Amino acid sequence: MTVVRKTPGPAKHRLPGPPDVLELIMDCVGIHAAAKQPGCEEIRWFKSRPRAASVRVRRHTCDCQPVAYELCQAGGLMFVRRYDRSDGVLIEESEWLRPPAAEHLWTRILLGQSR
Ligand SMILES: [Zn+2]
């Protein structure tokens, strides 16, 4: 099932001036996936379905971006979940893979070699 929800977009508007504690807290500490590289491979994204009782998020990209990714684990398999908030919220996932293949896919996404 595709989950589409209306949420406000990332708010990153700052007032000019010296950084304060709040700004330091709000600064990005997450990983930002690189821009799409030439020859970027198209990932086939599937509608997110509840396929496992529990899913663990092992890694994630920074939430400040309109599209964020999570490397998830469910039992012995892993997959990448994609949150696209450019128009509402669209949650999709990659195919479910064995951990080495999923880690490889995750790395390619971070490097902008797959999207
Ligand atoms: Zn960020």
Calculate how far, in angstroms, residue 64's C-alpha sits from the geometric centre of ligand 1: 4
53 found inside a domain = yes
Which tokens belong to 92? Answer: 């999709």
Cα of 57 from ligand 1 centre, angstroms: 18
Number of structural domains the chain divides into: 1
What residues flank ion ligand 1 with Cβ within 5 A?
A: 28, 62, 64
The mean of the pLDDT values for the chain is 86
Ligand 1 geometric centre to CA of 67 (Å): 11
Q: What pTM does this model have?
A: 0.76
What average pLDDT does this structure show over 85-114?
96
In a domain, 8, yes or no: no
Residue 48 is assigned to a structural domain of this protein? yes
Cβ-contact 98, 92 below 8 angstroms:
no
Amino acid symbol at 32: H
112 alpha carbon – ligand 1 mean position (Å): 16
Note whether residue 15 is domain-resident: no
d(CA 57, CA 68): 13
Model confidence at 49, pLDDT cuts 50, 70, 90, reads: confident
> Is residue 57 domain-resident?
yes
- Residue 26: which residues within 8 A CB-CB, separation 6 or more? none
Range of the domain at 60: 32-110
CA–CA separation, 18 vs 111, rounded Å?
33
